[in-house]
Structure 1
Amino acid sequence: MLLTMIPLVILIALVAGISGLWSNPDPAPVGSIDETLALEYDATVVDFPIRIPDAPSEWQPNSGQRVELEEDGGGTVTWIGYVTDDNLYLRYSQSGISAERLVEYHYGDASNIIGSETVDGTTWTLYRAGNNEPIWLADLDDVRIAMTGSATEAQFTTMAEAVMAAEPLD
């Protein structure tokens, strides 16, 4: 009985190989959004100043959302997600809610501070999200800015520089 199974296993492996089950297809193209248009609109409906950072041109803005929070007094978070030039992800968010609530929005624990980074004179507090990704947060008094994702530390720094260089929209 075992000898009759060997040709069957070889035949299945051959068919699977020919049909492409073991091939490595090209990844699908990254979706795209107009982050400037989205954030300009958000600036007309939220009660905190919006910044539109000049992200590197190689980064693809692929997602975004404005979320109305219902618990703990409400509030709004607006965010844009970018796929970096090396196919990593960075989400940039801004909100008028407290720093603690914004960290929790990104699945972090506000008591789990893992460090800080100072970029262009602004201190970013670093937290660890539940999925082990970093959360960088800057409290700019009238708005809290957060970043999270699989991006490298250098890419977080690049975005932090772009955020601080961006003037708040009126």
Structure 2
Amino acid sequence: MADEKPRILQGGRDMVLSIGLVVIVTLAVVIPTGLCSWNPGAPEQGPVQEVDAETFAAMEARVMAFPVRLPDSPDGWITNSARRSSVDATPAVVIGWVTADGGFLQLTQTGETLDDAVRGIDEDPRQLDRTINIAGEEVQIHTSEESDVRDLWVVDLGESRALLSGAGTEEEFTTLLEAVITAEPLPAGE
């Protein structure tokens, strides 16, 4: 007992040796399990997981108070998300696609009025920037001065509104909105 150092004399060297011993013991226990890996470099893109948007949209069309449309996916696009959300505190149908060029577009359908839908889709304010014509319908493009707020393309389809946002080219936005506009509403519930 007389040979032990008093605690006041234990220094940084002793602490570094103790931590080093803990790291070595941890590695000796974890590495043989195979539950860890070391992959230096950039992460690899895995395959896009496809969802069954057709079944989801058909089920939602039966319960929503507005017509739901499921556009045909353009060639090379993969439907990777489908969920129920809300716009201005009312139920909405949301479907997302990964485009052939690796972009992402998200379609939200709601029964809210056009102005309420634009204001209620998220907390980010946007202003009407311009309108264009797609498949005979007037499409409003709402933008923000904030760099991290995505543009919102909106079309009034009578009893429902379609809102499109995401990271894609103008051509991809136009292609998807044209498919939405020309799609027939899915059968509603009784």
TM-score tier by shorter-chain length is 0.7 to 0.9
Cα distance change of structure 1 residues 24 and 68 upon mapping to structure 2, 3 Å threshold? closer
Q: Secondary structure at the match of 2:61?
A: helix
Question: Which of structure 1's runs of 4+ aligned residues deviate more than 3 A?
Answer: none
Q: Give 1:20 deviation, angstroms.
A: 4.1
Work out which of the residue numbers 135, 144, 148 in structure 1 matches 2:152.
135
Q: Does 1:124 align with 2:142?
A: no
Q: Percent identity?
A: 30
More deviation, 113-122/128-137:
128-137
Structure 2 spans left out of the alignment, 5+ residues: 1-37
2 CA distance for matches of 1:93 and 1:20?
Answer: 38
* Alignment correspondent of 1:109: 125
Taking structure 1 as the reference length, the TM-score comes to: 0.79
1:1-34 CA distance string (max 9 Å, x none) = xxxxxxxxxxxxxxxxxx642x233212212111
Paired amino acid for 2:134: V
Q: Secondary structure at the match of 2:125?
A: strand
Give 1:165 deviation, angstroms: 1.4
Return the offset for 1:108: 4.1
Counterpart pick for 1:49 among 61, 67, 78: 67
Corresponding letter in the other structure for 1:143: S
Whole-angstrom CA distance in 2 between matches of 1:140 and 1:108: 23
Separation in 1 of the partners of 2:136 and 2:80? 29
| Larger strand proportion of the pair | 1
The TM-score normalised by the length of structure 2 is 0.71
Greater Cα radius of gyration, structure 1 or 2:
2
Report what 2:83 is aligned to.
65
Which residue of 30, 34, 54 corresponds with 1:36? 54
Alignment match, 1:157: 174
Gapped regions of structure 1 (runs ≥ 5): 1-18
Q: Tell me if the contact between 1:79 and 1:91 (Cα under 8 Å) persists in the aligned partners.
A: yes
CA offset digits 1:108-134 (Å, max 9, x no partner): 435x11111111110110012563321
1:144 to 153, 156, 161: 161
1:97 corresponds to which residue? 112
Q: Distance in 1 between matches of 2:39 and 2:109?
A: 44
